[in-house]
Structures are given as structure tokens and as C-alpha cells.
Structure 1
């Protein structure tokens, strides 16, 4: 019995003791927030036709569909032009703030609201990349993705340094912005609930997130012993690790299903599948480049078979770190080529962001260090140290970030 109890105990400790993969969580936060932001900005002139009152999928059709499938979209709360512009602006603003890591718990929820509101308003406007963003926006709410490379981590580090020096500063003082956001969003949530815009399931989700943050704040301010805070931290770590595991499993599932479906197609079996999209006007932003690639049958065959092999094999390569890293680089390169050759930049960015969860920590640390050095050369006065660059960087923000399941930081 003891022979099995020790590994189980170690596994439970590993899952609950700390939020694993802080750099991976940060890079997918930046990746998906940045991808969605770029998409919203590029489609800003066409927002009315895609998601607004001028779209072919009318507001009445969308309302009937939402009543049938119970999907969440704030755009169904009103058909006014002002409300549409407000929701679109919130989607853009939440993407920017999540990207830089300001109040990541609040912004992750608002980011999810923006993504679901727009995508569920016009379901025929999306592609595979939009589906990935749709899912990852939900999963990000459960992660503690602001521990490194964020303004939250920087604020926590400055507060810790000020307390260590015994100084009384604004950074070390009580948080006033967080409770203000929590109260304001609580009032908005109450108004929406009383207006009957939220179904039972979504009421439970949003009120649960709001109440969880209230509990975290109350324990942090009122508890006389550290045990309640430690318990909440353990729960937050478990939720984060579970969400990160789901993100990894989702990425593996996407590649595995895509690969096995391709195997069943005759064009993928004879090695000519890549040839056809290169000659479609919709997927040929650079006709000369597409013609150049499709003119070489050997290249078409190698890319076709290589795509299938890479997608089918990827989940199995996770058992070997070196093979996984090589294949990961190949797949990211392939997505970058797809973005240029086939004119699918946002699909490629979404998949690269999903792949980033498998990047090794040493590589991400080095990438952060490189960014710090580059910024130090560009800024005349040098650059402050990025949060998380120290050896124990993720732990500096962990004590103040709390469970990533509420509205405020």
C-alpha cells in the first residue's frame, strides 16, 4: 500500500503546490489576446457587415438560433447601434489589457465575453482559427496567466520590494482598483440578471466567478491565520493546472483528428491535396508564389505527406522532449508558411499560439531575456527587469495574484 501511496502523494503535491507552466500560460495569453486584437482591428471597417445590424445574418435570425442552442452573446441583449459599438469596444479594450496583463482575472473574463458575444452573433463568419480562439478564451479564465510577463506581476514585484524595504508606497498599499472593478461589474451583472438576459447556466458561471473573487479578497484581508489563504491558493493551483492540461489536450486533439481525417481523403493519399488550394483565388494572395510552389510536384507531395505525418505523430512525440521540440518547430514554421502563401494569418496565429503551450521553459526564459535586452537598447534610460526573469520569478506574483477565477486582481 505504501508503495503506491508515495507516488500518489507526490502527484497531488505537484498539482496543488504551484501553478505549473507560468511562462507557457503567459505566452498563450499574449498569443490569443494579440491574435483576437489584430483580427478586430483589421475587420473594424467591416464590423457592421460581420457582426452588426448590416450583416446578412440578421439580429432576429441570431436571436432565434441563440434561443435554440442557448449560446452566450451579449449582442442579443439589444439590437441598437450604440450597444453593438459598446460590445465591440469592450472586446478590443479587454484584448489590449489582457495582452499586457493588467488585471488578468478581470480581463480574461471580459475577453471571453467579447469573443463569445461576437462569434455567437454570426456563427458563419468563423473558420478553424476562430474555433480555437473560442475554446481557448474559455479555458484561459481558469488559468493564472498573469504570473509572469504582465503588469500584474510587475505590480506584485514592486509591492514586495517596497514591503521588504519597509517603505510605505502606493504599490505596497491596499488595492483600490480591484474592489472598484469588482463592485462595478457586480452591479452590471445584477442589472443583466434582473433584466432576464442570462440563462440559468450562464448566471451560475458569472455569479460563481464574481463570488469566488469576493471570497478571495475577504480571506486575504480578514483572515487571522494563513490557513484559509493557503487553501484557496491550493484550489487556484489545481484549477490552473487542470485548465492548462485541457489546453494541451485540446491542441493534441485538434492535430490528431485533423491528421486522421486527412488520411481518409483520396487526395491526401495520392499526395496532391496541397496542390488544389494553391489554385483557388480565395487562398492565393500571391498568385506568383502559389504557382511557383505548385509547379514542383515533388514539393507538393512532400508537403502533403509531411503535413499528415506531423499531425498524426504530434501527440505521440510528447513522450520525447527532443523529438517534440523539433516537430513543434516544424509545425510552427508550416503555420507561418500557410499565413503567407494561403492568406490565412489569423488561423495561423491562433494555431501558433496553441502550439506555444508546448514550448520549453528554458526557451521562453531566454526569449524573455532577449526582449529585455532589446528593450534596454531601444530605451535611452534602460529597461526595468521583466517580471519573472529572476530565478524565482513566478513565485513573486503568486502570493498576490490569487485564484484566476474571479473578476479582479
Structure 2
């Protein structure tokens, strides 16, 4: 009984005292924000046809659908071109800011708003990758995804160094951003821009209020207890969101694999042949012809896809097998991006897979990236090549002080 109690106590302490998977959460932040940003940039010249007033899915049709399903979108507040361009610009800027990790807590919310607003405006424009991005944008709001590999982490590190030197650190950008976003929430709520299903508006108000409380406690609390309590709440939400993200990825692969098993073409090993013969999925016809020229290759790809998807959730119980299968699935998605011409679907799935990547590999990846950056941007080639880059480690215990609107 004592042993069980100690085990439970250790598990509770681990969940509440630290935000687990800091490198994995940073990877999904970078992966999904980068995928959405690249998509918005590629479709910039077609934005009006996809999500705006120039598209076949008109404003009235979109409003009727949203009224029936309660989906959230800011684009139905007005059908004007200026408002559409403003929302599209918001989606672009929020994606870029989240990618580099600037004010990640706030930007994750704006990123979610941008994704939901555009996708729910024209729901028939999306594919499987958009559905994954749609879900993950909501989950990212609850994660502390800026603990490493972000401008927020650098800002926090510099602030800690300044406090160690006895300097006073003041955050001016955070309060200004909080006031501006609060005014925008008041304006949209008062004019009906957030009407419909109250789930997302309530979430926006809760996050806005919590950021204000976090800043106020970090600035004026006389003891460490309120700060520790806020850290515990943030860690629980973060760790719970990571579990949901992992469960969602497993569910996607499991359902896809079991549905494939029921198809006759997947059973006879020929399913991979047919999409490669469609012009819509053949940006490089010679690659498709090369793959389909061998019946054995088609059979291996077909059966291998089904086996990998069905088996993936079960491989999580064995680290080595999981890592091997994870690498295979990422390579498969990369091949889909090139051969079938589905780059954003593949990027979204790779970003979802990144939550399972082992921490030692991600830390090495971070060191390699930092060294490559030094080599590229150093003015003195010799000194740059010899430069050493300190590793950015994630905090494993709650920090007693906060300087602003936390990552």
C-alpha cells in the first residue's frame, strides 16, 4: 500500500510540477503554424476565391450553414472585402508569430481564431490535413509550447539573467497587447461578431482573463504561493493537452487503418495503384508510373500502409519499435507530399507525428540547427565554424517569478 501511494504521489508530482514534453510541444507548434503559414502564403493570390467574397460558397450560404452547425468564424461578422483582408492578415501574422514563439500563449489563441475563421467560412475547401490542423489549433491553446526554441524562452532567460544582476525587469508589450485584445473582444461581443455557439467566445474570454491574472500575480504577489498555483494549473492543462494530442493522432491512424481493412482494394493489395493514375494526384507522372510499374511494389505499399496505421497505437508500448515505425510513417508522408502532390496534408500529419519523437533526438536536432545557424549567419567563417552553441534546456520545475504574459 505504501509503495502504491508513493507511486501515485510521484506521478501526481510529475504531472503538476513540470510541463512535460517541452521539445515535442515546440515541434507541434512549429509544425502546425508553419504548415498553415505556408498554405496561406501559397494561396494568397487565390484567397478571395477560397475563403472570401469571390468564392462560389457565398456569404448567405455560409451563414445558413453556420447557423445550423454553430461553427465559429469571424468572417461572417461582415461580408466586406476590408474585413476579410483583415482576418486573413491576422491569420498570417499569428501563424508567423507562433512559428518563432513570440508571445506564444496569446498567439496560439489568435492562431486558433484564424484557422477556425477561414476554414469554417468555406468548409468544402478542406481535406484531411485541414481537419487535423483544425483540431490541433484548438489543442495548442492549452499547451505551454514556447518553453524551448522560441523568442519567449529567450526573453525569459534574459529576464532571469537581469534579475540575477539585481536589475528590475518590466514587461511593457504584454499589458499593451492585453488591453488591445480586450478592446477587440469587447467590440466584437457588443456588435454580435462572436454570436453563435458560445464555446469559442467563452474560451477567448477565459484566456484573456487568465493572462491578466497571471501578469498581476507575477507583478504584485508578495509570496510565491499564488505563482506556484498558477504554474501547477498551467502544467496540468499542458500535460492534459499533450495526452489529447497523442490520443488524437492514434485515433486518426487507427480509424484510417481499420477502415482500409474493410475495403476490397486494400484487401487484394491494389489500392495504391488507383490514386497514382489520377491526373489530380499526379504532379510528377513519371514517379507514379515508376511506382505502379511493379505489381509487387504496389502490393507492398498497400499492405505496408495498412499494417503501419493499424499497428502504430500498439507500438507505443515499445520505444524502439515505435521509433522505427514513426520514421517509416514520416517517410511515407514525405513520399505522399511529392508523389501525390499533397504537401500540406503531409506536413500536418508529420507535425502530429512529432509529438511522439524521442527527446534525445529532438535535443540533438536543436543543437544541429543552432550550429547550422551559426555557420550561415556568422560573418567570420572560421570563428563561426568553431563557435559553440549552448544547449537550451527546458525547465523541469515551476519558476517562482514571471515577468509578463507567459509563453
Q: TM-score, normalised by structure 1?
A: 0.94
Shift, 1:397, TM fit: 9.4
User: Which whole-Å deviations, capped at 9, do the CAs of 1:308-348 have from their partners, x for residues lacking one?
Assistant: 00000000000000000000000000000000000000000
Matched, 1:121 2:121: yes
Aligned to 1:71: 71
Shift, 1:194, TM fit: 1.0
1: CA distance between counterparts of 2:396 and 2:403?
12
SS of 1:19 mapped into structure 2:
coil
Aligned to 1:233: 231
SS of 1:175 mapped into structure 2:
coil
Shift, 1:386, TM fit: 7.2
Aligned to 2:92: 92
SS of 1:329 mapped into structure 2:
helix
1: CA distance between counterparts of 2:66 and 2:111?
20
1: CA distance between counterparts of 2:389 and 2:376?
15
Unmatched segments (≥5 aa) in structure 2: none
1:6-155 mapped onto 2 (5 Å cutoff): 6-155=6-155
SS of 2:341 mapped into structure 1:
coil
Which one is further off, 156-165 or 135-144?
156-165
* Aligned CA distance change for structure 1 residues 385 and 78 (closer, same or farther; 3 Å): farther
Q: TM-score, normalised by structure 2?
A: 0.94
* Aligned CA distance change for structure 1 residues 373 and 386 (closer, same or farther; 3 Å): closer
2: CA distance between counterparts of 1:11 and 1:386?
34
User: Which whole-Å deviations, capped at 9, do the CAs of 1:379-402 have from their partners, x for residues lacking one?
Assistant: 225499878x24x43359955679
Aligned to 2:328: 330
Aligned to 1:198: 194
* Aligned CA distance change for structure 1 residues 386 and 130 (closer, same or farther; 3 Å): farther
Matched, 1:188 2:184: yes
Q: Is the 8 A contact 2:104 2:152 kept in 1?
A: yes
Shift, 1:372, TM fit: 1.0
Shift, 1:202, TM fit: 3.0
* Aligned CA distance change for structure 1 residues 80 and 180 (closer, same or farther; 3 Å): same
Shift, 1:2, TM fit: 3.0
RMSD of the TM alignment (CA)? 1.9
Unmatched segments (≥5 aa) in structure 1: none
* Aligned CA distance change for structure 1 residues 314 and 72 (closer, same or farther; 3 Å): same
* Aligned CA distance change for structure 1 residues 216 and 131 (closer, same or farther; 3 Å): same
Aligned to 1:306: 304
User: Which whole-Å deviations, capped at 9, do the CAs of 1:238-283 have from their partners, x for residues lacking one?
Assistant: 0000001100000000000000000000000000000000000100
1:282-321 mapped onto 2 (5 Å cutoff): 282-321=280-319
1: CA distance between counterparts of 2:82 and 2:389?
39
SS of 2:11 mapped into structure 1:
helix
1:374-385 mapped onto 2 (5 Å cutoff): 374-381=372-379, 382=384
User: Which whole-Å deviations, capped at 9, do the CAs of 1:49-91 have from their partners, x for residues lacking one?
Assistant: 1101011100110011111111100001100000000000010
